[in-house]
């Protein structure tokens, strides 16, 4: 298993897997071919021998058992291409003569049927033969007919055929290597194109990945483009946050500087209080931005554990608003995962819970529900709520609300933007005798939508 745990090359891994498998299968096919060839050849020879014995029997019966009237010698050799022996009490015919020692012993001692002789004691004749013997009578005259095949010559023919099969198998293996190599290079061409596109992306020549990727690589391309969209949007939000922070602290810093630079005025208690107030404004603004940064959380991939993140946020907000109660309502299992980045899920829940914690009287409730095709997140507080005429303005794009400014809608523009990227919806349903409620619905198979 160590050999395949960390492949250095996809091409090398595929060749390492496919080539030995092809060679093993080809070798197995060659072995099976040898076994089948030997079996089929023997069965074929036995059938031929039986047919030729039957032919000789028919000729002898037609001649009435008179062997002298048969056309033997070259005639039967040309017809059969096998050695044969015909024996009667009055005469024995064996052709060719070199087979006489082997066939004579079969006439005298063998039983009828197929006979196999190995290592026969002959000088000119074959050593290994396969013969078929049959005895019958014509009247009172017993007749024995034997037709035989030289297995040595047959084996040599089989070996030659098997050797040619091996040569063809080796050529096929070489062809298989070429086909595998060509197929791997053709299959890896999209990876090469993707690599070139990533290089152009790094050089700033393109902003997104646009390649005609095969089906197996499309999720990878979509995830990369989704990551680029997410990074761009976070960069834009970071720039906006820095601009807001710079704008917010610029005035208090200018006021403090003016007081400190005015050497003609004594530093009275009123001026000290004014400087303290300005510094408190700066501290609050910095604290607000740091709190939003804590809500963002680390990015660990495009999936998140909603229960764990919800408990962490509720614990933190419970410390920020110790006089208020934060409750969680959910029937999700502990290991439930939602197809949304941890950063985005934290930002959605963090902004909604921060709003609710700031404006609730006593209690904030977070609910997490997972249905067949929908993931639902709801936040309800017991605060004063929002007028119906103002609800339509919440979460509008381009609507900037300073964190010092009271009112629902803090961070809702960011929440709406994230929810829309995942193809979800943001609603503000009215619940009688409750404060303000927000419901976020995300598709269960959520995927980031590029804008």
Q: Are 131 and 114 in contact (CB under 8 A)?
A: yes
Phi, psi (5° rounding) for residue 29? -65, -35
In terms of C-beta density within 10 A (0-12 exposed, 13-18 middle, 19 or more buried), how is residue 320 classed? middle
56 confidence band (pLDDT: 50, 70, 90)? confident
Residue 379 clears pLDDT 90, i.e. is over it: yes
Q: Average pLDDT for residues 18-22, to the nearest whole number? A: 79
Find, among 391, 235, 377, the residue nearest to 313 by Cα: 377
Task: List the structure tokens of 192.
Answer: 């090469």
Dmax of the chain from CA atoms? 159
Interval 386-401 mean pLDDT: 63
Q: Given this model, what pLDDT does residue 1 score?
A: 43
- At residue 366, the pLDDT reads 94
Question: What is the per-residue pLDDT across 324-371, written as a single tens digit (0 to 9) for each?
Answer: 999 999 989 988 888 888 878 888 888 899 888 888 889 999 999 998
Rounded CA-CA distance 421/442 in Å is: 10
Domain boundaries, the chain: 11-156, 298-451
The residues near 64 (Cβ < 8 Å, ≥ 6 apart) are 138
Are 256 and 267 contacting, i.e. CB atoms less than 8 angstroms apart?
A: no
Flag the least confident range among 44-48, 97-101, 283-287, 324-328. Answer: 283-287
- The pLDDT score that the predictor gives to residue 130 is 83
Structure-token match 């629902």, residue found: 408
Higher per-residue pLDDT: 230 or 311: 311
8 A C-beta contact, residue 89 and residue 141: yes
Task: Give mean pLDDT, residues 149-157.
Answer: 76
Q: Going by C-beta distance under 8 Å and a sequence separation of 6 or more, which residues neighbour residue 308?
A: none
17 or 295, which is more confident: 17
Return the closest-CA partner of residue 113 out of 140, 144, 90, 138: 144
pLDDT tens by residue, 208-256: 877 777 777 778 788 888 888 877 777 777 777 776 666 666 656 766 7
Query: Residue 137 contacts by C-beta under 8 Å, 6 or more apart in sequence?
Result: 143
Confidence (pLDDT) at 409: 47
Is residue 449 scored above 50 in pLDDT? no
Question: Does residue 395 surpass a pLDDT of 70?
Answer: no
Bridge-based pairing state of the strands 363-370 and 113-117: unpaired
CA-closest candidate to residue 89, choices 137, 131, 134: 137
pLDDT tens string 427-439: 888 877 778 889 9
Place of tokens 């014509």: 138
CATH number given to 298-451: 3.30.565.10
Q: DSSP secondary structure string, 261-330?
A: H-TTS---HHHHHHHHHHHHHHHHHHHHHHHHHHHH-----S-B-HHHHHHHHHHHHHHHSTTSEEEEEE
Q: What's the predicted TM-score (pTM) here? A: 0.40
Question: Are 154 and 45 a contacting pair, CB within 8 Å?
Answer: yes
Q: Give the mean pLDDT of 32-52.
A: 79
Instruction: Please indicate whether residue 392 or residue 296 has the higher confidence score (pLDDT).
Output: 392
pLDDT band at 289 (very low <50, low <70, confident <90, very high): low
Q: Do residues 326 and 364 touch, judged by C-beta distance below 8 A?
A: yes
Q: In whole angstroms, give the CA distance from residue 136 to residue 144.
A: 7
Helix 218-261 vs helix 342-359: angle between axes, to the nearest 10 degrees? 40
Cα–chain center distance at 427: 39
Please report which confidence band the pLDDT of residue 377 belongs to, taking 50, 70 and 90 as the band edges.
very high
| C-beta of residue 118 within 8 angstroms of C-beta of residue 98 | no
For CA atoms 313, 318, 320, 325, the dihedral sign is: positive
Q: Give the per-residue pLDDT at 436.
A: 86
Residue 297: pLDDT above 50?
no
Determine the average pLDDT of the residues in 96-111.
78
pLDDT (average), residues 194-205: 78
What are the backbone dihedrals phi and psi of residue 209, each rounded to the nearest 5 degrees, phi first?
-90, 120
pLDDT of residue 274: 67
Average pLDDT, the chain: 76
349: left (phi over 0), alpha (psi -120 to 50) or beta: alpha
């Amino acid at each position: 298993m160590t050999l395949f745990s960390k492949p250095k090359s996809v091409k090398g891994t595929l060749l390492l897997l496919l080539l030995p498998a092809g060679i093993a299968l080809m070798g197995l096919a060659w072995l099976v071919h040898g076994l089948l060839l030997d079996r089929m050849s023997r069965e074929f020879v036995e059938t031929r021998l039986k047919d030729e014995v039957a032919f000789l029997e028919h000729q002898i019966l037609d001649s009435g058992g008179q062997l002298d009237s048969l056309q033997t010698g070259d005639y039967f050799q040309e017809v059969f291409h096998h050695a044969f022996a015909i024996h009667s009490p009055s005469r024995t015919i064996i052709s060719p003569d070199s087979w006489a020692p082997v066939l004579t012993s079969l006439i005298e001692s063998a039983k009828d049927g197929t006979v196999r002789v190995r290592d026969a004691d002959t000088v000119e004749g074959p050593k290994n033969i396969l013969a078929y013997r049959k005895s019958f009578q014509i009247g009172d005259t017993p007749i024995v007919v034997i037709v035989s095949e030289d297995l040595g010559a047959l084996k040599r023919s089989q070996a030659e055929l098997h050797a040619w099969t091996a040569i063809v198998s080796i050529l096929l293996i070489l062809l298989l290597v070429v086909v595998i190599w060509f197929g791997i290079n053709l299959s890896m061409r999209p990876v090469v194109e993707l690599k070139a596109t990533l290089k152009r992306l790094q050089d700033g020549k393109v902003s997104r990945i646009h390649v005609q990727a095969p089906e197996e690589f499309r999720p990878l391309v979509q995830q990369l483009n989704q990551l680029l969209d997410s990074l761009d949007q976070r960069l834009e939000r970071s720039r906006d946050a820095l601009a807001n922070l710079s704008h917010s602290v610029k005035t208090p810093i200018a006021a403090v500087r003016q007081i400190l630079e005015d050497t003609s005025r004594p530093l009275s208690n009123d001026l000290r209080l004014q400087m303290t107030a300005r510094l408190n404004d700066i501290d609050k603004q910095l604290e607000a931005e740091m709190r939003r940064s804590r809500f963002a959380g680390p990015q660990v991939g495009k999936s998140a554990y909603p229960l764990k993140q919800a408990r962490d946020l509720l614990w933190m907000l419970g410390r920020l608003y110790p006089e208020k109660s934060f409750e969680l309502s959910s029937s999700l299992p502990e290991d439930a995962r939602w197809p949304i980045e941890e950063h985005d899920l934290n930002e959605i829940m963090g902004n909604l819970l921060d709003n609710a914690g700031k404006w609730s009287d006593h209690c904030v409730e977070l609910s997490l529900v997972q249905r067949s095709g929908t993931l639902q997140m709801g936040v309800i507080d017991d605060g004063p709520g929002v007028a119906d005429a103002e609800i339509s303005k919440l979460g509008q794009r381009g609507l900037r609300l300073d964190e010092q400014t009271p009112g629902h809608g803090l961070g809702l523009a960011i929440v709406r933007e994230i929810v829309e990227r995942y193809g979800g919806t943001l609603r503000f349903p009215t619940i009688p005798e409750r404060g303000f409620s927000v419901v976020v619905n995300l598709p269960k198979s959520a995927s980031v939508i590029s804008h």
